Structure 1
Amino acid sequence: MLLIKNARVYAPQDLGLCDLLVAGTQVLAIDKQLTLSGIACEQYDAQGQWLVPGFVDSLAHIAGGGGEGGFATRTPELQPTDAVRAGVTHLVGVLGTDATCRSLADLYGKTQSLNAFGLNCFMHSGSYEIPVKTLTGNLRNDLMLVQPVIGVGEIAIADHRGSQPSWQELARVVSDVRVAAMLAGKGGAVSIHVGEDPSGLTLLNQVADNTALPVNQFLPTHMGRNDRLIDQGVGFAKRGGWVDFTTSTTDAILAMGERPAHDALLYAMAQGAPLSQLCFSSDAQGSLPHFNAAGQLDGLELASIDSLWAETAALIRNKSLGVPDALRVITTNPARALGLAAGKVAVKGGADFNLVDPQALTITGNVCRGRWMMRDGELLAHTPFER
């Protein structure tokens, strides 16, 4: 058992200064003053640090990504300790542009590797392309028979690297995912990579307008590319859809008109988008390519998982949002979008949380599945190959 004393608990709602008791992988109690006697229990004095939910990252290229500049530009896989340092306790692995030399079998292996390490990792079937590639040969079977598969994506639209699907083709994919997810008790999110083409969210709106499929089945990401796309996202959020802003970016991409995620969120909210429909994701280990006017790659950088908290902390540091509202975009909101029981600190809920220095806004501690992964800034969890 683990007893955390004197923590300012954001669940993400502000519970004030509390003690929190962990038993196994669950939170057993949260109260103003907890005492135990006659029971072996580790006690830790948080000394007023914030205790916040473990972060939920809905899009990470955990097995590596990239390759748009040839084989030399393939990106490396995610190191589990990077997720720990970043405070991410739940994440979803995806394939992107390359589903030929990168496979769903490899993604599955990496997903299970991260789970074995002690994280909560899931994956999507598919990639940028339609027809969708699958593990079992059938998308419904993937959702129903493969435990960590919780959705599909990231399917590319409005992008020269996508398959240029029609709305009818996309609707059939969404239908398969929705039915299978209902039968399997999963969320069935359809992760959508939205590119720079002005068509933006047109396909998603066409599916919603012409079928009985709910708009919130879609989770479109990279929505901060430019103000035109954010404006489309505002309308999408107002009709009940999700809008996800990517926290990883580069100076070159920002110079092309993209807004940093924290700024894109505030812009969208100022235009009337409800906070309840807005999320952040890191796109970790994905390539951040820059293409010139001729469509040729002329720059490439690596997306980082620690950007998830950096952009959220910017909202808090700038006092743009209160702590509970800022936390929602990386906790309860993405958890709802994915259909996961995560993103909250609650009695009988999972013991997945972070400790944060309230002055520096740095992550000092991480507990995942009830186990210390990092304490006082020191990593306690290691892979077999770390010395």
Structure 2
Amino acid sequence: MILVKQARVLDPGDRGALDVLVAGSRIFAIAPDIPTPRIPGVELEVIDGRGQYLVPGLVDGLVHISGGGGEGGFAGRTLPLLAEQALAAGVTTVIGCLGTDAITRSHSDLLATARALQAKGVSALCLTGSYALPAPTLTGSIERDLVLIPEIIGLGEVALADHRGSQPGWRELAAAAAQSRRGGMLAGKRGTVLLHLGDGQDPLAVVEAVIERSEIPRNQFLPTHCNRSPHTFQAACVYGRADGNIDFTTSTTEAFIAAGEIPAAHAVLLALEAGIPAHRITLSSDAQASLPAFGSEQEMTGFQVADIASLWQAVRQAVLEYGVALEVALATVTANPARIFGLESRGRIFKGGRADLLLVDEQTLALATTISGGQVRWGRERLPG
């Protein structure tokens, strides 16, 4: 058991200073003052939360958990995510997917990596498919993957407006989204379709055509990389004002920013100022992806590796540098992605919810402690039990 004493609880709304008792992998009690329980044979760890926020563990909606890259040949392949990386960054839930490479990368390896992360304290889920349509799958269809494999919760990341994608038309995207939606309904999942937006003009035109010409609702989709360029951001703002969900990528490079990418922290502020409802905005790290540089003929000339630590760094920057309210910034990496992907037990702090919690400094927002699945996985601030 773990008892966190007198931390300021953000759920992500501010609930004031409270005690939170964790038993097993769940939150057992939340109250102004919880007496220290004494149960024979049960070890209790007491954590001093004074001067700290207690916030939900981060939900990262786009991570290449089994490694990504490959656009520049075999030397451009990136390594799988380590559980220690995620936990040290405050990320307790990751949603893994394939990207450009669905030839040397497979859904079997993606699923095995997710289960390895789970064994080490990170709640790991997966998407079927990849950049291309028709979508590669594990069982032979999008629907069967969602129905038969517990960890698979949606489809993606399907590439649009990108030279690395399969250039799908609206009918192809609508058919894939319908399969994900139907499989999700049968399995009690959301079946969210994650869309990778590239550098092309009018990046959401195909999505708008699906919404206009089919029965697929707008909230079936989550476009990501919406801060890639000014024109992509503007298209995302139009989409968001129409009650669409949008996602900004926190991993970046100086070259990307110089080419027009909007840092995710700034994009959150600009989106709010543009009238996007706060609950429609999410952040994801794109961790373990290659961040490629391309030459004049679209050949890759080098790359960096996306960092999962950028997720919390972007939240801190949004609050400390751009003046975004902490509750709003926090929701972009907790309650919002949890809701969009249908993960009801995550992203909030409530009795009976998953005990995925972070302690962060009230002044600097520096991460101090990560609790995942009811266990302290990184950092410790203790009182005698």
Residue ranges of structure 2 left out of the alignment (5+ in a row): none
Determine the C-alpha separation between the residues in 1 that align with 2:285 and 2:381: 22
* 1:344 partnered with 2:364: no
Equivalences for 1:167-182 in 2 at 5 Å?
A: 167-182=170-185
Determine the C-alpha separation between the residues in 2 that align with 1:366 and 1:49: 13
* 2:13 match: 13
1:326 to 326, 329, 333: 329
TM-score by length of structure 1 reads 0.95
CA contact (8 A) 1:231 1:268 kept: no
2:373 to 357, 361, 369: 369
SS of the equivalent of 1:122 reads strand
Equivalences for 1:109-188 in 2 at 5 Å?
A: 109-188=112-191
Determine the C-alpha separation between the residues in 1 that align with 2:38 and 2:74: 60
Determine the C-alpha separation between the residues in 2 that align with 1:377 and 1:285: 30
* 2:287 match: 284
CA contact (8 A) 2:3 2:19 kept: yes
* 1:252 partnered with 2:260: no
TM-score by length of structure 2 reads 0.96
* 1:3 partnered with 2:3: yes
1:97 to 95, 100, 104: 100
Residue ranges of structure 1 left out of the alignment (5+ in a row): 379-387
* Residue 292 of structure 1, CA deviation: 2.5
* 1:261 partnered with 2:264: yes
Determine the C-alpha separation between the residues in 2 that align with 1:38 and 1:136: 49
Alignment RMSD (CA, Å): 1.3
* 2:26 match: 26
Amino acid at match of 2:367: I
* Residue 297 of structure 1, CA deviation: 1.4
1:150-205 Cα offsets, whole Å, 9 max, x none, are 00110101000000011100100000000110110011110110000002111111
Determine the C-alpha separation between the residues in 2 that align with 1:73 and 1:185: 37
CA contact (8 A) 2:265 2:322 kept: no
Determine the C-alpha separation between the residues in 1 that align with 2:322 and 2:170: 41
Determine the C-alpha separation between the residues in 1 that align with 2:38 and 2:258: 61
Amino acid at match of 2:25: T
* 2:360 match: 356
1:247-296 Cα offsets, whole Å, 9 max, x none, are 00000011110010011121122121111111000000000012123212
1:317-348 Cα offsets, whole Å, 9 max, x none, are 12522211110000011111111121001111
Amino acid at match of 2:191: G
1:48-82 Cα offsets, whole Å, 9 max, x none, are 21110000000000000001111101001101100
CA contact (8 A) 1:363 1:377 kept: no
Q: How many pairs align? A: 378
CA contact (8 A) 2:47 2:380 kept: no
